[in-house]
Amino acid sequence: MKLYGRIQTEISCADFIRIANRCLRRIKKQAPEDFARLQRVVRCVSSYETTRECDLGEWVADPRPSDRPEHWDWEDGEMTGQLFIKPDLPEDQLLGVFVHELGHACTVTDDLKPLRSVISDEWSSEIMADKYASKWGFERHLQICRESREMLHHGPPPGCEWEEYGARFRLNADYSVERLTPIPELPPELRAMREECLRQNQIAGQLGDEESLRDPSA
| Neighbouring-strand partners of residue 83 | 45, 59
Q: Output the smallest distance, CB 9 to Zn ion, in A.
A: 20
CA distance 134 to 217: 43
Q: Output the smallest distance, CB 186 to Zn ion, in A.
A: 32
- Residue placing its CB nearer to Zn ion in the complex, 153 or 191: 153
- Residue placing its CB nearer to Zn ion in the complex, 37 or 131: 131
Of 64-72, 119-127, 184-192, 198-206, the segment contacting Zn ion by CB under 5 A is 119-127
Residue 38 phi, psi dihedral angles, 5° rounding: -60, -35
Instruction: For the beta carbon of residue 100, count every other beta carbon within 10 angstroms.
Output: 26
Q: x-or-dash pattern for Zn ion, window 120-149, by CB under 5 A?
A: ------x--x--------------------
Residues 6+ apart with CB under 8 A from 19: 91, 94, 95, 98
- Residue placing its CB nearer to Zn ion in the complex, 66 or 82: 82
Number of residues that bind Zn ion (CB under 5 A): 2
Q: Output the smallest distance, CB 162 to Zn ion, in A.
A: 17
Q: Output the smallest distance, CB 68 to Zn ion, in A.
A: 28
One-letter amino acid identity for 59? W
> DSSP string covering 94-125, please?
HHHHHHHHHHHHH--HHHHHHHHTTS-HHHHH
Positions in the binding site for Zn ion (CB under 5 A) = 126, 129
